[in-house]
């Protein structure tokens, strides 16, 4: 088989080289998918951590709001009693 017009490679050897290149590409693709999966899991873990932190802040804000509401109601009732 002639390649680039200047040298020849026997067909079985060329097929063997193509199989080796294909195997290398498959390995690289598998590594890429594996890395992508790890990256995805890291992103999910980070998002879950952030969501948990936001949830805690939300609960604190609700508790603070409830305390403020009670304080305002108590202050309002004291003002009405003094009138």
Could you read off the pLDDT of 23-69 as tens digits, one per residue? 999 999 888 888 788 888 888 999 999 999 999 999 999 999 999 99
Q: Please tell me the total number of residues recorded for the chain in this structure.
A: 83
DSSP-H helix ranges across 1-83 = 11-82
Number of folded domains that form the chain: 1
Domain ranges, residue 28: 2-82
Q: Which position has the higher pLDDT, 3 or 79?
A: 79
Residues 6+ positions from 1 with CB-CB distance below 8 Å: 8, 9, 10, 11, 14
Q: What is the pTM of this model?
A: 0.51
């Amino acid at each position: 088989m002639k390649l680039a017009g200047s040298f020849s490679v026997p067909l079985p050897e060329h097929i063997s080289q193509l199989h080796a290149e294909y195997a290398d590409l498959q390995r690289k693709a598998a590594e890429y998918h594996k890395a992508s999966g790890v990256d995805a899991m890291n992103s999910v873990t980070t998002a879950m951590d952030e969501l948990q932190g936001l949830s805690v802040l939300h609960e604190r804000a609700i508790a603070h709001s409830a305390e403020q509401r009670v304080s305002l109601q108590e202050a309002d009732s004291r003002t009405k009693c003094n009138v």
